[in-house]
Amino acid sequence: MEFGFTIADQDGEARSGVFHTPHGEVKTPAFMPVGTNASVKAMRPDEVKDLGFEMVLANAYHLALRPGVDVIEEAGGLHSFMHWDGAILTDSGGYQVLSLGKDVRITEEGAKFRASLDGSEVLLEPETSMDQQYRLGADVAMVLDECLPYPSDRERTAASMELTARWAKRCLDSHPGGRQALFGIAQGGTIPELRAESARMTAGLGFDGYGIGGLSVGEPSEVTLAALDASLSELPADKPRYLMGVGDPSGIVEAVSRGVDLFDSVLPTRIARNASAFVSGRRLNLRNASFAHDRGPLAPGCDCYTCRNFSRSYLRHMVMAKEILGLHLLTVHNLFEVSSLMRRARKAIAGGTLSELLDEVRAVEAAE
């Protein structure tokens, strides 16, 4: 079996299981570290694997601009190029067009923009996106979608949702299939009715799995959850559900409790490069002068390499001296925290105790 999704345990709406891919099994719910440029920042592939991750994300938008799809294809595809033998998902670049592209024009044809790298004019069509992702050799490709800024009015959101659905059909029609799964993306902004409608339309096309996009872009958490609930209500239960761009502990567990299986976010690695660490669900800023003489571990009781070997004092010194090692050590810890959270979630679902984990992360969120 190359692709498949098996649900092993359920606790309410939450479920744990296995997503089967040509490059191995991915235990769900799972978090995918982001390797935008075919590299999880500040980490070697073996380190990412040793932390318990079985799937990573790379971005077709960035890789098509540099080094180019031809270069990666000649190297034998992404797995060979980046020396990662686990599963890989590529994001089509819809969000990057919104956030990084200049002079963006969205038409029925596709997205026209000036590339962030060199200012060259690019036309990204659904068919182009499918060709790029297939040649990159990822296990899972995502359809090309339009991402809207927050807030967007109902008329604009409805038009964008319908365009995304038409693009999704073009992606499905042009995708070769076979060795690569294709996930659709439900949009609909923050309007629950449009969220449900988009999910229905996307599910009706019959994809291998479903992304929920366009959330966690600045809206309040209660708005995110209402939109998420509306999307999930119309997505099939027997296919993987992927909440795109969510990586904070409370956001992950809230979504897991609602039936989400896959996550990705730059958050754990990004905050590490900005001198912050996840500690018991909270963010700790190592630039704080109070840590200068703190000989304790970054997170008491944590068994990651960083916490077993280095003090808060040393880590603060690394950060203040702008030493690359400091960024690496904080990244190791943050990814360990997320990996541990996913293991706890899977164990809690199997044991019927996810509500206890949910209460825990909610209490941390309320205290901040």
Beta bridge partners of 241: 210
Torsion, Cα of 120, 121, 126, 132 (10° steps) = -20
Nearest Cα to 166, choosing from 220, 210, 215, 107? 107
H or E segment and range at residue 122: strand 121-124
Active-site amino acid positions? 91, 264
Identify the sign of the CA torsion 260, 338, 41, 322: positive
Quote the CA–CA distance of 204 and 192 in Å, as a whole number.
18
**233, 197 Cβ separation under 8 angstroms:** no
Q: How far is CA 267 from the centre of its chain?
A: 9
Quote the CA–CA distance of 345 and 143 in Å, as a whole number.
28
Burial of 13 (0-12, 13-18, 19+ CB in 10 A): middle
Two tokens, residue 171: 């992606």
